[in-house]
């Protein structure tokens, strides 16, 4: 080994040694020192031999220590990497939950991708410096586009849900605060949607806000999209300090701002998407509603938005025919035909005004109502009032009055579009949630229902809108899964 180390060092010492004749190369100890100042060139120099051997020994020890250090680093680094892989796995906790008198095994807790990433980031590696605070991680969820998130079942989960408490979100309106308005059972808040093919990640406010940093997200449509907008505001606001978030309302546009993220979550009132005589966000209770073929006025407010979520449905359900303005006269048009025309007008606006490299577009399918309790086998009930559990997860569609012709038009138009638009198919899974409406625990013409009105659900129960926390939080988990699973844009 010493000979090998010497040969490596030979170029370094070339100015101090003169080559020996072949007959004198038997031993390193017979080498002669070539002194530059003209001293003896023959004989042994004990000092040199000692220095040389000490240098070789020291160099060998350093190489050995380096080798041992690299082995230790590999060993501990491998352990840390293994810990990180374990931390990234989803944790499934199974328990027995009693629902409707029967015990059912249900998955009650799944760690989100960001929670696992945070744990992995806390695993230290040997020799690496300790930082006081890591930079925000650009998490990417593992929810493939090919997975059908909307085929699944409802499971009762009183561990992970609700994601937030009603009293924790000061931005909720009285229309949706059912518990504050007198509802006694809170089980409707604790149902989680479980897809059959893949996992639906629990909403993570910090991950969503990182995706929204420097961006705008806007819901456009009717009061059901406003319902979902309130849900999104409550979902993200929990991760923002109180003095760093604001909500402003100006005519048709409401804007929630997260200052530290330079992000907004907005709602724009356009119940038919196209212009109509119901576009006033406060005075829109009009008996004879008339729609037009124009979308330009509304569309000016949508330009440049990074995430657009559209809907239109419930206002189409008042009459089987729609009044469509042509010039100064209107004509009566069958509901599905008029709906198709409006969606095509909307699709043209998207093609002309949306840059797919910058803007992601979603369309929410119909939000169903529950007006006739006999539709789900409860002839003694009154609309959706006093319903406390979802419908059983049926293998066939429940007939509760949803106009599936409009759903078909949504699918057809979205499928025909050149730009990518995601249709969020919430209709069938929401039909099962007869328990989640505001019912009599809500407002009527801007005022809370009185005790007498609450006692008359046949007249006053609202079986269109949804309590919060509640079902719209699940709709937003669909958006979260799609948004946070896509690659980051530079």
List, by residue number, the catalytic residues: 223, 462, 465
The token duo for 462 is: 């609202």
Query: How far, in Å, are 13, 236, 246, 269 from residue 233 at the CA level?
Result: 73, 6, 10, 16
Structure tokens at 242: 């109180």
Identify which of 358, 350, 252, 257 has the alpha carbon closest to the alpha carbon of residue 310: 350
Segment 98-107 long-range contacts (CB within 8 Å, at least 24 positions apart)? 99/156, 99/389, 100/389, 104/155, 104/156, 106/155, 106/156, 106/157, 107/155, 107/157, 107/194
Helix (H, G, I), strand (E, B) or coil at 422: strand
Q: Is the peptide bond before 321 cis (omega within 30 degrees of 0)?
A: no
Hey, is 8 helix, strand or coil?
Answer: helix
How many angstroms separate the CA atoms of 189 and 468, rounded? 8
CB-CB neighbours of 365 under 10 Å: 22
Helix (H) or strand (E) holding 153, with range, is strand 152-156
How wide is the angle at C-alpha 282 spanned by C-alphas 278 and 288, nearest 5°?
A: 30
Helical packing angle, 2-9 and 46-88, nearest 10°: 100
Separation of CA 348 from chain center:
28
Instruction: Write out the two tokens for 344.
Output: 């095509």
Query: Could you tell me the sign of the dihedral formed by the alpha carbons of 203, 177, 152, 340, in that order?
Result: negative
Radius of gyration of the chain from its Cα atoms, rounded to whole angstroms: 35
């Amino acid at each position: 080994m010493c000979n090998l180390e010497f040969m490596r060092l030979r170029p370094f010492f070339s100015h101090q040694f003169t080559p020996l004749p072949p007959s004198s190369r038997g031993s390193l100890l017979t080498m002669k020192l070539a002194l530059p100042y003209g001293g003896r060139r023959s004989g042994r120099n004990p000092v040199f031999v000692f220095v040389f051997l000490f240098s070789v020994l020291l160099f060998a020890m350093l190489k050995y220590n380096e080798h041992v250090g690299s082995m230790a680093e590999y060993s501990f680094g491998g352990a840390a990497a293994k810990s990180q892989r374990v931390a990234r796995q989803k944790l499934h906790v199974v328990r027995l939950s009693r629902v409707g008198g029967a015990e059912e095994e249900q998955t009650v807790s799944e760690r989100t991708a960001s929670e696992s990433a945070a744990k992995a980031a806390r695993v230290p590696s040997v020799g690496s410096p300790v930082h006081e605070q890591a930079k925000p991680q650009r998490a990417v969820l593992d929810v493939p586009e090919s997975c059908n998130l909307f085929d699944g079942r409802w499971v009762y989960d009183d561990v992970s849900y609700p994601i937030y408490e009603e009293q924790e979100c000061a931005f909720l309106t009285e229309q949706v605060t059912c518990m504050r308005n007198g509802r006694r059972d809170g089980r409707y808040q604790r149902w989680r949607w479980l897809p059959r093919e893949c996992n639906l990640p629990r909403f993570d406010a910090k991950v969503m806000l990182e995706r929204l940093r420097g961006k705008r997200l806007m819901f456009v449509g009717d009061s059901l999209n406003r319902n979902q907008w309130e849900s999104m505001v409550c979902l993200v606001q929990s991760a923002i300090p109180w003095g760093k978030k604001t909500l402003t309302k100006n005519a048709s546009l409401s804007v929630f701002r997260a200052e530290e993220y330079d992000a907004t979550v907005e709602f724009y009132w356009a119940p038919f998407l196209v212009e109509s005589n119901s576009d006033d966000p406060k005075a829109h209770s009009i008996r004879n509603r008339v729609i037009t073929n124009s979308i330009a006025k509304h569309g000016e407010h949508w330009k440049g938005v990074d995430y657009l979520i559209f809907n239109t449905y419930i206002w189409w359900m008042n009459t089987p025919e729609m009044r469509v303005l042509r010039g100064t006269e209107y004509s009566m048009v069958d509901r599905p035909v008029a709906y198709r025309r409006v969606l095509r007008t909307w699709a043209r606006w998207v093609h002309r005004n949306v840059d797919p490299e910058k803007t992601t577009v979603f369309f929410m399918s119909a939000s169903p109502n529950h007006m006739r309790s006999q539709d789900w086998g409860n002839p003694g009930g009154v609309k959706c009032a006093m319903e406390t559990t979802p419908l059983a997860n049926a293998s066939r569609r429940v007939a509760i009055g949803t106009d599936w012709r409009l759903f078909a038009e949504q699918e057809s138009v979205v499928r025909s579009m050149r730009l990518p638009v995601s249709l969020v198919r919430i209709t069938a899974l929401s039909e099962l949630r007869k328990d989640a409406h505001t019912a009599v625990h809500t407002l009527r013409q801007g005022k809370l229902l009185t005790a007498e009105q609450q006692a008359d659900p046949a007249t006053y129960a609202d079986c269109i809108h949804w309590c919060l926390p509640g079902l719209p939080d699940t709709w937003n988990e669909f958006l979260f899964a799609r948004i946070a699973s896509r690659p980051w844009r530079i």
